Amino acid sequence: MSEPAPEASPAQPQQGAALEARATARPAPAGAESSAHGPAASESSEPATIGDLLGAADGAVDLANVETPPGPHTTDRRHERNEELARLWMGTAWAVAIACIVVGFGLFWAANDSVSYDYVGIPSAEEQLLQALGWWLAPPLVEGGIIGVVSMLVIGGIRRAQRSGRRADRG
Amino acid sequence: MGDTLGALADRAVAALAVLGVLGVATVAWALQWQAGSALEEARFSGELTAENLWMLRLEAISTFVVGPATLAAIGGCLGILILVAARLRALHHHPGADR
């Protein structure tokens, strides 16, 4: 596979141009390769590797357009990495949602627990700010956190259902 | 029917059910409290005592929790419906899938 085709090794301008056109036009059907190349290329149904193309025509191959098929280990590793990343982001989303609920309730409680809550006297600027935060910021914070918790419970359940379906397919 | 019951057996469905029941209970309590305080107008009149202060706080809490509790109740119900639909679909497409 890595040896060059016997008639392609001499530097011939016409063959070099033909190889370049083949390398840039993707994906090429497996049967079409046999007519353009010698017996070494026609015996195999696999796509030509970078080594074949480099050996066949020096400098005539556009390397940016040559694809190497990913092996099974590569896709497994990528899948595991994506799963880890998904778990990390889901964990962060859980933390943010729970923090929103806790901070919202905390703000509300702090506003209600302030000294001037009994409406006697004039509240200070800090107390007014705290009460404004407690009344206007706390409800959306808690509601946003609840929406987040519900969403992530639903997403987690759907992912579990999909995983069990895939497991059943594999047997 | 058996498939639907099987689809309900999931920890996310259980958590959403707890959330929904808590939401409904909280809304019921808050509305009851608001109605009671509206009927007893003289409750907070007079000298401010520690008990009255707690009444005021509960009044504020009952006003505050109605929105989030309603959201939790609706979200819990919708989430259960979506999850059961997804699990039934998975059972339909992959008959051997775990329930």
Give B24-67 pLDDT, tens digit per residue.
999 999 999 888 876 665 455 566 677 677 787 888 889 899 99
Please state, in angstroms and rounded to a whole number, the distance separating the CA atoms of residues A122 and A45: 87
Please state, in angstroms and rounded to a whole number, the distance separating the CA atoms of residues A11 and A59: 10
A83-141 pLDDT, tens digit each: 888 889 999 999 999 999 999 999 998 888 765 555 566 777 777 888 888 888 999 99
A102 and A134 together in one domain: yes
Does the distance separating the beta carbons of A147 and B98 come in below 8 Å? Answer: no
Closest residue of chain B to A142, computed from CA coordinates: B68
- For A47, the domain range is 13-65
Domain finish residue from A47, A65, A83? A65
A78 and A118 together in one domain: yes
Residue B40 DSSP one-character state: -
A46 and A123 together in one domain: no
- For B61, the domain range is 2-93
Closest residue of chain B to A151, computed from CA coordinates: B79
Question: Chain B neighbours among A 54-113 (CB < 8 Å)?
Answer: 108, 112-113
Structural domain count of chain A: 2
ipTM of model over 0.90 = no
For chain B, helix, strand, coil in percent to 5 are 85, 0, 15
Distance from the Cα of residue B73 to its chain's centroid: 4
User: Whole-prediction pTM value?
Assistant: 0.64
A120 and A138 together in one domain: yes
Structural domain count of chain B: 1
Place of tokens 């959201």: B71
Domain finish residue from A65, A81, A104? A65
A47 and A91 together in one domain: no
A61 and A145 together in one domain: no
Chain A residues near residue B56 by CB distance under 8 angstroms: 117-118
A111 and A159 together in one domain: yes
